[in-house]
Chain A
Amino acid sequence: MSQTNYWTTLHQRRISRRTMLSASARAGVGAAGLALVGCGDDDDDDDAAVAQAEDQAEEQAEDQAEEQAQAEQAVDDEEAEEQAEEQAEQVEEEEEQAEQAEEEQAEEQAVAAGGTDLDRTVRIAIPNAVGGLDPQAPGNFVSTFLLHHFDRLLSRDLATQEIIPQAATWEWVDANTAGVFHLKDGMSWHDGAPVTSEDVKFTIERLRGIAPYNDDGIYATGGDYAVAAVNAEVTVTDASTILVPTETDVTAQSSIGSLALVPKHHVEAIGDEAFNQEAFGSGHFTLKSYTPDQEVVSERFEDYHVDTDETYNVHKPWIKEFRQIVRPEPVARVAALEAGEVDLITRIEVELVSEFEDRDDFKVLFDPGCCPHYIFPNTLVPLPDGSNPFKDIRVRQAMNHAIDVDTIIQTLGTGQERRAYGLGSRQLGAMTLEQATPLNYEYNPEKARALLAEAGFPDGFDTPFYGTVGFFAATDTVAQTVAQMLEAVGIRTELQLDPLPDFRARWAQKDVPGLHYYFGNQSPDPISVINAEVADGGTLATAIYPESGIQELVEAQRLEFDAEKRAGILNELAEKIYTNANWIFLYETVETGVMRSDLDWDAKGNTRDHNYYFAIRPLAT
């Protein structure tokens, strides 16, 4: 990850020009001095003449001696001068070095001790901000700007991605048919009221639609797949213990643990509609103001229960105030950064970002992105001409060999994208590069055509091809490029691009034949990708291969409660998905962003996005 950061510029040695000049001068003076001193021999052989000569010689010698002395004196003077100069320079150099060392030390100390400006307001330009404030309302899962106002039950270690406690700890009980949350003490909501176990129960039941406060009985909920595994009523055993009965499914822990806690007393007091407009949570930021489509202002929650020095977890932010300003046009976001209207921009085309690369006052961010790109065939339904080529593994392999993924990465991406393999590379059980590279479908159009011919399609075939526009940068251009590459081996596509929800609506019907260009995600546990796109019956699972053994692995990983063993099963699954050429595997996105150099943002290799705003550290200048 190339990144000019604060530290590398500091360590650049500054070679003083004066030092270089005086070094060469010193060499010159020394040589001249030698010539002056010379290696003169004194002659005094004759007596009379000698005497005279002696006198003369003496005189001469005296003169010479004088001269010598003078010369030596001069040389001495010069030498002394030089020495003095040298010394002075040395002192200067030492002082400089000492200064540098001091600075460095101070910086390092500052970093280590957190030499942070805790009063800073940080502004970010975002593409849009619409949506309500209730994290459980449908559709609000796209409202990324509100997630940090709410706290989660469990979290993940930023570096190792292990599940760790946040607002509570979790343990499996009753032979893995139930889990128990032990709620942390002393947490409070943004209005000061304490967070209790009743709130936890309320959060779960509200999503299930059975919370007693609601008269009609069912609230319009979103994301109840998170609590799909909960199969009986949640019981509060005491002030900090909550028993959650679940199906025997290890993934229930991460699903339920990722819930955002909502305040029972507030929701019951004002009702669902009002809560969507006046919500608050117990998260590390409080909501100060929200003007839809214009600006969202959040503030650090001073009473947050995790302090700033616990850096491997979600903690109290360093930022005092955080403003998210809406600028839909990418160029407008870049211009806003240039103009100093904002401090940070994300999701920018890589060409626009390259302008900032050599500048000291900005840092360019390249982060592994959220989503690997895949193209999913529909194997459940034949093509308009009656055939179903995607069922044949050779066809699927051919399609993979037809795409020059590396060139796409180099030209349309940042150049740092990784190729996509079976499941996302940052997920549990993911294949390492060593494991995956030998299995690579390298770009080979001839082989593609040969495979197609072998499978019975020597002249290729025609297929619809659906893609999205507007969600990620460049998906429409990648789609067009892929279409061209497929056509080059005989697979003639009819490309149609739509906004994301239309695309997904069509795909979820499962009766639309052809290729569908969509994404997986990189959430640490691959369960959501598996549920959506791999498992038979998944909402977006149209690429099903009954004889491949994949479904058996899907079931097995759900029931494996040992983390290591489960990782092993998932690894097998990832490899099988890849070697079976379930889909066309493209690449994993890389997110680009730019921020001012007076900010530091270490998300430990995760995508620096709304999930990690708490890790932004304004540097004390």
Chain B
Amino acid sequence: MAGNSLWQVLASRLLQGLLVVLVVVTIVFFVSRVARDPIQYLASDESTQEEIERLEEIFGLDDHVVVQYGRFLWETAQFDFGNSLVNGRPALNEVQSRLGKTLQLGVASLIFSLVLGLPLGVIAALRRGSPTDWFARLLAVIGQATPNFWLGLMMIFFFSVELGWLPTGGSGSLKHMILPTVTLGLLTSAAVMRLTRSGMIDAMGTDFVRTARAKGLREGTIISRHALRHALLPVATIMGIQVGRLIAGSVIIETVFSWPGVGRLTITAIQGGDFPVTQTAILLIAATIVLANIAVDLSYRLIDPRIRAGAG
């Protein structure tokens, strides 16, 4: 499909993305109904059988599962995501506000990882073999091997409990964002650093750069204009994968830091059999991941139009 215009590529990607999201949501729809019976959460110790049946009727859970699915598709197409079974609020509202919070954390941590990882990677590449290089690589390798929930707990332990500098959880001010962002971002920054470094090393050794040097171009220009460009490509790849990983990581970070994000909401919804919220949350998360990946794909073209953006 090389040679197609950007718009055509975008359109086809979006269409494919839609299909993917649909499949994802369908899987979740059926699996969550197998997993949980929400009525047991809504009833109490003393609820009679009659009351249980009436609850099923009101929430539309007494229909055959395929009928429920049909109704779900129909309503979703009209952007009616239903109400939470737990508290009656519109599922979309519940998810939207939390998703915003999770994205806040996600974007902040991505920025943090770039700000930390890119310069470190460049420096390490330029000072290849020096103690600085070894040290940076050691940090990165340790960083990638650390379980993020453990790191989060350690952070709380030192910075909140022992030192009292930062709050222990929740959100509301910039101070609340620091610990979760750093925890989430440290692990990505390790990957960014390693990739930048290796990409830079490769790029610096190419004919292209040798030629540029021979031509007498300034080192600074060479680094920033040519070498870095090549190094950024694998970093962009990693960013794409990281979006998915960030959602996974955010679930844990949100639990540890009491961050009111969509990960925690979805866990509660899944375990509580709150189907509308589960479905809506996963739909929006999947859509976000898909869109983010499309953005990354297209950024390939921007960084280096020579790269084929692949068949399929």
Q: Are A and B physically bound partners?
A: yes
| A344 close to B (CB within 8 Å) | no
Pairwise interchain contact A224-B87, C-beta atoms closer than 8 A: no
Given A134-B88, A328-B255, check contact A336 B54 (CB 8 Å). Answer: no
Pairwise interchain contact A531-B46, C-beta atoms closer than 8 A: yes
- Give the distance in Å from the alpha carbon of A339 to the alpha carbon of B164 in the complex: 6
Closest residue on chain A to residue B160 by CB atoms: A335
CB neighbours of B45 from chain A (8 A):
504, 528, 532, 539-540
- Give the distance in Å from the alpha carbon of A277 to the alpha carbon of B160 in the complex: 35
| A568 close to B (CB within 8 Å) | no
Pairwise interchain contact A130-B87, C-beta atoms closer than 8 A: yes
- Give the distance in Å from the alpha carbon of A157 to the alpha carbon of B133 in the complex: 73
Picked from A277, A326, A508, A531, the residue with its CB within 8 Å of the CB of B89 is A277
Interface stretch of the complex, out of B68-76, B180-188, B228-236, B263-271: B263-271
| B86 close to A (CB within 8 Å) | yes
Pairwise interchain contact A328-B258, C-beta atoms closer than 8 A: yes
- Give the distance in Å from the alpha carbon of A504 to the alpha carbon of B156 in the complex: 35
Closest residue on chain B to residue A141 by CB atoms: B44
Report the minimum CB–CB distance from B151 to chain A (whole Å). 15
Pairwise interchain contact B169-A329, C-beta atoms closer than 8 A: yes
Given A222-B42, A222-B44, A501-B41, check contact A132 B87 (CB 8 Å). Answer: yes
Report the minimum CB–CB distance from B176 to chain A (whole Å). 11
CB neighbours of A218 from chain B (8 A):
54, 58
Pairwise interchain contact A336-B55, C-beta atoms closer than 8 A: no
- Interface size bucket, A side? 35 or more
Closest residue on chain B to residue A331 by CB atoms: B156
CB neighbours of A141 from chain B (8 A):
44
Picked from B41, B55, B161, the residue with its CB within 8 Å of the CB of A338 is B161
Pairwise interchain contact B87-A327, C-beta atoms closer than 8 A: no
Contact with B along A115-127 (1 / 0, CB 8 A): 0000000000000
Pairwise interchain contact B37-A532, C-beta atoms closer than 8 A: no
Pairwise interchain contact B170-A339, C-beta atoms closer than 8 A: no
| B47 close to A (CB within 8 Å) | yes
Pairwise interchain contact B258-A132, C-beta atoms closer than 8 A: no
Closest residue on chain A to residue B83 by CB atoms: A273
Of residues 486 to 543 in A, which have CB atoms within 8 Å of B's CB atoms?
499, 501-502, 504-505, 508, 528, 531-532, 538-540
- Most chain A CB atoms below 10 A, which of B54, B172, B256: B54
- Give the distance in Å from the alpha carbon of A114 to the alpha carbon of B42 in the complex: 42
Report the minimum CB–CB distance from B133 to chain A (whole Å). 38
Picked from B86, B161, B164, B168, the residue with its CB within 8 Å of the CB of A131 is B86
Closest residue on chain A to residue B37 by CB atoms: A505
| B193 close to A (CB within 8 Å) | no
Picked from B86, B260, B268, the residue with its CB within 8 Å of the CB of A139 is B86
- Give the distance in Å from the alpha carbon of A531 to the alpha carbon of B46 in the complex: 7
Of residues 135 to 163 in A, which have CB atoms within 8 Å of B's CB atoms?
137-141, 143
CB neighbours of A132 from chain B (8 A):
86-89
Closest residue on chain B to residue A506 by CB atoms: B40
Pairwise interchain contact B40-A539, C-beta atoms closer than 8 A: no
CB neighbours of B273 from chain A (8 A):
501
- Give the distance in Å from the alpha carbon of A332 to the alpha carbon of B156 in the complex: 8
- Give the distance in Å from the alpha carbon of A434 to the alpha carbon of B59 in the complex: 51
CB neighbours of A540 from chain B (8 A):
45
Closest residue on chain A to residue B88 by CB atoms: A276
Report the minimum CB–CB distance from A145 to chain B (whole Å). 12
Of residues 216 to 233 in A, which have CB atoms within 8 Å of B's CB atoms?
218-225, 228
| A294 close to B (CB within 8 Å) | yes
Given A139-B86, A335-B161, A501-B40, check contact A325 B170 (CB 8 Å). Answer: yes
Pairwise interchain contact A273-B170, C-beta atoms closer than 8 A: no
Pairwise interchain contact B87-A140, C-beta atoms closer than 8 A: yes
Given A328-B255, A501-B40, check contact A335 B47 (CB 8 Å). Answer: no
Given A294-B260, A332-B168, A505-B37, check contact A539 B46 (CB 8 Å). Answer: yes
Given A327-B169, A329-B169, check contact A220 B58 (CB 8 Å). Answer: yes
Given A292-B94, A335-B160, check contact A130 B169 (CB 8 Å). Answer: no
Given A294-B171, A338-B161, check contact A131 B272 (CB 8 Å). Answer: no
Closest residue on chain B to residue A220 by CB atoms: B58
Ordered by A's residue number, 17 sampled pairs between the chains whose C-beta atoms are within 8 Å are A130-B268, A139-B42, A140-B87, A219-B58, A224-B51, A272-B88, A292-B94, A293-B98, A293-B265, A328-B255, A331-B168, A334-B161, A335-B160, A505-B37, A538-B46, A539-B45, A540-B45
Measuring CB to CB, which residues of chain A are less than 8 angstroms from any residue of chain B? 128, 130-134, 137-141, 143, 209, 218-225, 228, 272-273, 276-277, 291-294, 325-329, 331-332, 334-336, 338-339, 341, 499, 501-502, 504-505, 508, 528, 531-532, 538-540
Not counting A331-B153, A335-B160, a sample of 8 additional A-B residue pairs whose C-beta atoms are within 8 angstroms of each other reads A130-B87, A137-B88, A329-B255, A335-B168, A338-B164, A501-B40, A528-B45, A528-B46
